[in-house]
Amino acid sequence: MKSTLLNGIICAMVTPFDDQQKINLEATKNLIEQLLQNKINGIFILGTNGEFHVMSNEEKLSFADFVVQTVKHKVPVFVGTGSNSTQETIELSQKMEKIGVDALSIITPFLVPITQNELVEHYKRIAASVSIPVILYNIPKNTGISIAVESVTKLAQVKNIIGIKDSSGNIDNIINYIQVTKEYDFSVLSGSDSLILKALKAGATGAIASTSNLLSKIDVGIYNDFCIGNMEEAEKKQQSIEQLRAVLKLGTVPSVIKRAVSLAGINVGPARYPVADISENIDKEIVKMLDSYGIKHVG
């Protein structure tokens, strides 16, 4: 039986910053409240779109604590704690467990291309160090390492490793993960927003979606329509998010999605340096995109 923890649409939430690039707690609260109102199934912080790679561990812990206290168990809170160091990941993961997060997302180490055996051992050590669930995070385009199907098969047998977020952008990879983990209490989630519906049809239990920062109603609608068998409407909603996805490609992650959310009324601020501010030309394209969805915008 699959864990119900990983069902539905989980928002890969951005980390709101102010103009001084400090964490903006008021904007964080406002964004969380909007996501909850739109019936999001979970909140994933400190991922790629959450800019974990430019935040200190102290900031991560403080931010996670605030999110947990704000969400108040209304939906699960997933937190990214992965790094290149197994020991550092363990230490941060144990502190997050004490804060009260529901599960940990662990990205593969990056920079140095470790072997699959080393990768499996890395995950096993982390999982053994905590009692809460662990989710593998595969994003090879960014890390240079892909979690092999054989490695996922081994890791799915570890008691508290309950799933994987696959952001490879390859539906065949998602299908392969699903096939080899069928007999285990293990869920596969799409981390590629363009593949939400295809992944669900293949047997995925949900998606961790960055587009849901802005289009949470549409993304949740894809999942809900799929669950009731309304495939035509689910497909329409899936296709509709392509307008946002096209604009997201105009800037460095997560600058465009943050600007779009800010223009739509919740000022989550800019991305942290070295990611630059949005240009005027890109800003105009974001406004056109918001208009296409009928989203009112400031300015």
Catalytic residue positions, numbered: 137, 165
Eight-state DSSP code of residue 102: S
Rg for the chain (alpha carbons), in Å? 18
Distance separating the N- and C-terminal Cα atoms of the chain: 49
Q: Across the strands, what pairs with 190?
A: 166, 207
Largest pairwise CA distance in the chain: 53
Query: What number of other Cβ atoms are within 10 A of residue 50's Cβ?
Result: 20
Q: Return the ∠ at Cα 48 (arms to 46 and 52), rounded to 5°.
A: 40
Number of Cβ atoms within 10 Å of the Cβ of 265 = 12
Distance, in Å, from the CA atom of 127 to the CA atom of 156, rounded to the nearest integer, reads: 11
Residue by residue, DSSP assigns 182-220 as: TTSS-EEEE--GGGHHHHHHHT--EEEESTHHHHHHHHH
Contacts 24+ apart (CB under 8 A), 69-74: 70/28, 70/29, 70/32, 71/32, 71/36, 71/43, 74/36
Please check whether residue 51 is in contact with residue 29, taking contact to mean a CB–CB distance below 8 angstroms. no
